Amino acid sequence: MAIERVFTQPGPDEERYLTSLRPSRLDECVGQEVVREQLRIALEAARKRNEPLDHVLLDGPPGLGKTTLAHVIANEMGATIRVTSGPAIARQGDLMMMLTQMDTGDVLFIDEIHRLAKIVEEFLYPALEDFRVDYTTESGIGGRTVNFALKHFTMVGATTRAGMLSAALRDRFGLLFHLQYYTEDELVRIVERNAELLKIHSDRAALERLASRSRGTPRIVNRLLRRVRDYAEVRGDGTLTPPVVDAALDILQIDTLGLDNLDRAYLHALIKHYDGGPAGIEAIAATMGHERDTLEDVVEPYLLQIGFVIRTPRGRLARPTVYEHLGLAAPRRAEDEPTLFE
């Protein structure tokens, strides 16, 4: 039976909530200092030349602000943004309709760009490079190809799996940025701002507790802020304090490191079924009843980041720190376990 997790993809109501907290200008953003500085220079240069910004590729784990940065870019350039995703563009005609509606300087944001169909990706190449497309109006021997000139627009692509992008597509982006996990201090600054926007009474210690259990991810700290606010209003006086945060997150089964049920299920599967590894990701996914992509995109990045799991040529391997965190006895071979280079 598949295990549900707290940190799911946002639904419509959740998306509206997150959008209401989204910064609209670059100066309002917190964290990603190197990315913001490079982007600030590129934006200023484009404005001075009165040109659209170069195409931008953003990669990194989910929830770090790729969509937010796409909207910030559009706002900074005073442009309209059109939002879509790789899986939503099934045919060349779908992309053609969007491209012909783009005005000069407009931003086309494609989330999960690594999931574009190959035929759509190849159709996109001349649009990114030469701002033109060759579109076949009819199929078969009587088909006619028409060359359309496009207005100079800015493409912003976002991906959680940059390694799945073809070199040909990656090379057509002028600006490539990798987003890192946020520090606890940066998350505290984010949640302080958002608590003020939502008019939530809180003390800094409570927000620090919340940030420390948010996996270095702004989307998660914003979601947990909402859940903790609900708990505070129902079980307390509406004020966020450390005991209130702890009690709310205990109900959500989120531990002190921010691990939820799915994270712990992954670690338990690796330890109990495969003796701590090495174990292949397909085997772990089959044991848990989850898709491989879910584990690789959503679960593993944070576990790798905190050093709980490593990837070896023979598969995933649990580190000794995992056993200590879960309160399990480490196997005797932990002292001479294989390294990344074996």
Residues marked as catalytic:
66-67, 111, 160, 219
Q: Give me the DSSP letters along 9-76.
A: PP-HHHHHHHHHT---SGGG--S-HHHHHHHHHHHHHHHHHT-PPPPEEEESSTTSSHHHHHHHHHHH
| Cβ-based neighbours of 144, under 8 Å, separated by 6 or more | 136, 137, 138
Peptide bond into 10 cis (omega under 30): no
Strand ranges (DSSP E) for the chain?
Answer: 56-59, 81-85, 107-111, 132-136, 145-149, 154-159, 175-178, 309-312, 315-318
- For 111, other C-beta atoms within 10 Å of its C-beta total 20
248 exposure class (CB count in 10 Å sphere: 0-12, 13-18, 19+): buried
Distance (Å, rounded) from C-alpha 313 to C-alpha 321? 21
